[in-house]
Amino acid sequence: MQNTNNIAAEILSYQKVASTTTMRFSGGLIGRYEEQEELLLIEPRPSGHGAALFTQVKPADFLSFLDTLGLRLLGLEEIVELPPVPAVVWSPATFLLDKFDGWDAEQTWHRTAAALRAQSEYPTADTAIHIAFHLRCAVNCLRKASIGYERHLRRALFSGQQLGIRSTHIDDYEVFESIHGFFVEASMVRDHLSKFASRVIFQKPDFETYVSLLKWLRDVEAPTQLGEELISAGTQDSSGWLACLSRYRNNIIHGSPLVGATTANRFVLLSTGPVKFNLAKVVLEVPENPFASEEGDLVDALDLCVKYTRKLARLALQVVNESGVKPVDITIKPKNSFSGP
């Protein structure tokens, strides 16, 4: 593992929670070491210089890296000198595709729609197709955001004589836009799941949105297990992840400190304007983190989106299982897997 020039001169503070060590260096650099993922990420300064990204970093290699900077963290074992590990570009897009489990949910809903069509339940089948379609759109938005972030890192790390120069503004714009698109599509999945559940599982007239279904569920004396989960996911605290989908979606447009900007210009101003917009603090409503960079923590934002997508996929499969509809086997060609409603 090779050191990048002028990564840091001094470590100001560090924090270790479970297997994650977060460091704040002088000059505005933020370091994060994920022991389980064997990933060491040094985020760039606000000026754009000093980025570094390493994979396959063993704990001993991490301690050796700190030793090259003259740093020692209290409470960690003795530094062991090992041969350097070659730096490998980590692809967030590949990471998402490898570990995201939404593909099965999307295909299950395509097969559920086919089963409903065979039973001449055409309106309900259309709702099932909408669920599959918007679930795939959410995954694509998340993948686009991760690719944009990877491009941001690639340009910061591997631009020849311009090593350390930050990516262009349009790349940052794409990341913000894609994250917003993810919350839009995820909210659509949530609402169509609610519509399907109200008709097939709860045997009630269609509730067009999750909010309308939630109001009815709260008045039910003995809701089912699915109903209880939908209620708990609709609370206004951090555990109410279904409620967070639309709230975060709205925060990006309406909650950002950009008064008078058009919708299109907001995304540009979020990354290029004079306002220091902290994505994690303003949009995702997390407490202010002393380790967060001034531009906001895109790593945490993408990680949160992945967690929500996994929860949404599991909920989608649960709704199918409790509906009693048996998905039929159909052949879905790759070119048709993105077929819309």
CA distance 99 to 313: 13
pLDDT at 199: 92
pTM beyond 0.75, yes or no? no
The ranges of the chain with pLDDT < 70 are 1-15, 25-29, 42-56, 64-103, 149-173, 221-222, 238, 252-301, 303, 331-341
CA angle at residue 96 from 93 to 97, to 5 degrees? 90
Report strand pairing: 39-43 vs 11-17: unpaired
DSSP bridge pairs for 260: none
CA distance 194 to 245: 14
Contacts of 266 (CB under 8 A, 6+ apart): 252, 253, 256, 258
327 burial type by CB count under 10 A (0-12 exposed, 13-18 middle, 19+ buried): middle
> What is the sign, positive or negative, of the torsion defined by CA atoms of 251, 255, 256, 260?
positive
Contacts of 224 (CB under 8 A, 6+ apart): 201, 202, 322
CA distance 97 to 116: 29
CA distance 73 to 65: 12
Instruction: Count other Cβ atoms within 10 Å, centred on residue 13.
Output: 10
Instruction: Count other Cβ atoms within 10 Å, centred on residue 60.
Output: 14
What are the structural domain ranges in the chain? 1-90, 92-336
CA distance 98 to 137: 17
Which among 238, 237, 218, 236 is positioned nearest to 228, based on CA atoms? 218
DSSP 283: I
CA distance 205 to 192: 14
Percentage of the chain modeled with pLDDT above 90: 19
Helix/strand/coil for 55: strand
148 burial type by CB count under 10 A (0-12 exposed, 13-18 middle, 19+ buried): buried
56: left (phi over 0), alpha (psi -120 to 50) or beta: left
Q: List Cα–Cα distances, 198 to 189, 193, 239, 245, in angstroms.
A: 14, 9, 23, 20
